[in-house]
Amino acid sequence: MRQAFRSHRTLVGVAGALTAAAIAVTALATLPRIAGSQRAILTSRAHVAKVPLIVYSAQGYDMNVVKAFQRATGIPTELVCDSTGPLLARISAQRNNPQWGLLWVDGNQPFAALDQQGLMLRGFEPSVPWNATADKLIPADKSFVPTGITIAATLIYNRKKVADPPTDFRQLLLPKYRGLLGMNNPSISGPTYPYVSGLMAYLGGVTQGERFLLQLKANGLHIFPTNGNTLHALQIGQIGMATIQSSAIIGAIEQNPAWGISFFKGVTLLPSNIGIDPKAPAAEVAEAKRFATYVLSPAGQHQMLIGDPHGDSNFWPVLRGESPRRGMPTLSSVPYQVTNPYLWGPREPAINSWFTTHMVQ
């Protein structure tokens, strides 16, 4: 019995050794990268202290911009590239000990909410030539800065199925559009909430918005999880038109001439923004400010325009003297509205919950 027990202990010992060995292998695999970062710090300390800048981004062009920024400044920049939801989940989970330096995603409501929780550096505004639209987007406490503009959701339609597309949200209730419209579920697709809340703001409030959405449902509205599912439904003819983010629409139209875009009256602006972690080391905060300034430079804007031509690169600039990609309509031709993120942001859980209960089920 004792021998059996001893043999078991031997096995445990071997297991422990193997575990340690495996971890050591992983550590060795990681070491060159860690060492690389450390070297960057040591070699640069003689000049300016450089620490790795950690960028959390959901932008399709972020890799291009990060590489160009590193080349231009020599600042080691590490990218965590993912959808907005997981990035914000990471930030929320790290609340006690933030490990990010800069956040770059679409929508001003998350930034406003993070600002209210004390998780945004206030008082930073790059000295750049903002255009008139950007002036409406910069918050009073300067806790985040816009980098580009899209429309939260407007209409994409299949010309073969919808000959005369609607030009106003209310026209979507007409019987001739019955069963043709699709949209994303805001409780799954994060960027859809600005569209839903903007629609409510445009129609006069939450109550009016909910009533309108229920009428849409009665007119055969299809609800899909995310942009991808909605666009795919349009592609396979399950629906004839959909309301999704303008950058995705413009990218999709370039690849499919049968599709068209229509800007409704009262569509909501959805800016991409940069915010900085106030608890990051001073050196990283300084680098994050340089990153934001670089993004808003002609070189940074160029990288944004070429980095994701079928998606996020289809934005309107926030700077005077910069132009959107060729073929984009002028922003002045779009009848847009700007909503208050500090008013509509806190309502997100309640409105999403209502949507799930009354629209999806």
Partner 1 sequence: MVIADRLSARLVGAVTRPGRLGALGGPALWALFFLILLVPIGLFLLVAVSPAIVGQGRAWLTFANFATALQGQTLQGLVDSLVVSATTAVISVAVALGLAWLVQRTTIPGRGLWTLLVWVVLLTPSFLVSLGWERLLEPDGILVHLGVPTTGIANVFFGPVGVVFVLTTKGVPFAYFAISAALGALGREFEDAARTHGAGRWAALRLVLPILAPAFWSALAIVFAETISDFGVATTIAATANFPIATQTLFNAVDNFPANFPVAAAVGWLLVGSVGLALVAQSRALRGRSYQVLSGRTRPSVRVRLGRRGRALALTAMGAFFGLSLGVPFAGALSASLVKPTASSITWNSLTLANYATVLHHPTLLGPLGLSAALACVAATVAVVVGVIVARTLTRRRAGPSARVLDLLLLATVGLPGIVLGAGYIFAYNLPWLNDIGIHLYGTLILLDMAYLANTVPSTTRLLVGPMAQVQFGLHDAARVHGSGGLRAWRTTVVPLLSRSLLWAWLFGFTGILFELPISQLLYPPGQETLAVAINAAFANYSYAPGTTLMVVSVGFAVIVVGVVLLLFRIGAPRGWQRVGSAR
Q: Which of residues 189-218 bind partner 1 (CB under 8 A)?
A: 190, 193
The single residue among 82, 206, 262, 338 that binds partner 1, judged by CB under 8 A, is 82
Rule CB under 8 A: say whether 173 interacts with partner 1: no
Nearer to partner 1, 67 or 170 (CB): 67
CB of 265 to partner 1, least distance (A): 27
Q: Are 107 and 273 in contact (CB under 8 A)?
A: yes
| Closest alpha carbon to 72 in 291, 344, 230 | 291
Sign of CA dihedral 8, 10, 13, 19: negative
The single residue among 50, 60, 181, 272 that binds partner 1, judged by CB under 8 A, is 60
CA distance 88 to 115: 13
Which span sits near partner 1 by CB under 8 A: 197-205, 222-230, 318-326, 332-340?
Answer: 222-230
DSSP string, 125-190: -----B-HHHHHHS-TT---EEEEEEES-EEEEETTT-SS--SSGGGGGSGGGTTTEEEE-TTTST
**In sequence order, what are the residues at sequence separation of 6 or more whose Cβ sits closer than 8 angstroms to the Cβ of residue 36?**
none
SS (H, E, C) 48-69: CCCCCEEEEECCCCHHHHHHHH
- For the segment 281-320, give every residue that binds partner 1 (CB under 8 A): 308, 310-312
The single residue among 143, 197, 229, 339 that binds partner 1, judged by CB under 8 A, is 229
CA distance 304 to 312: 8
Nearer to partner 1, 255 or 330 (CB): 255
Rule CB under 8 A: say whether 39 interacts with partner 1: no
Nearer to partner 1, 332 or 357 (CB): 357
The single residue among 224, 264, 291, 315 that binds partner 1, judged by CB under 8 A, is 224
Rule CB under 8 A: say whether 356 interacts with partner 1: yes
The single residue among 50, 51, 54, 268 that binds partner 1, judged by CB under 8 A, is 54
β-sheet bridge partners, residue 183? 223, 243
Q: Are 128 and 319 in contact (CB under 8 A)?
A: yes
Q: How many CB atoms lie within 10 A of CB 6?
A: 10
- For the segment 90-149, give every residue that binds partner 1 (CB under 8 A): 90, 92-97, 99, 109-110, 113
Rule CB under 8 A: say whether 44 interacts with partner 1: no
Rule CB under 8 A: say whether 19 interacts with partner 1: yes
Rule CB under 8 A: say whether 88 interacts with partner 1: yes
Rule CB under 8 A: say whether 252 interacts with partner 1: yes
Q: Which residue has the tokens 């959107």?
A: 324
Which span sits near partner 1 by CB under 8 A: 136-144, 231-239, 284-292, 317-325?
Answer: 231-239
CB of 307 to partner 1, least distance (A): 10
CA distance 194 to 190: 8
The single residue among 6, 159, 161, 176 that binds partner 1, judged by CB under 8 A, is 6
The single residue among 35, 42, 48, 89 that binds partner 1, judged by CB under 8 A, is 89
The single residue among 32, 179, 205, 237 that binds partner 1, judged by CB under 8 A, is 237
Rule CB under 8 A: say whether 227 interacts with partner 1: yes
Nearer to partner 1, 147 or 314 (CB): 314
| Closest alpha carbon to 340 in 108, 142, 67 | 108
Q: How many CB atoms lie within 10 A of CB 300?
A: 22
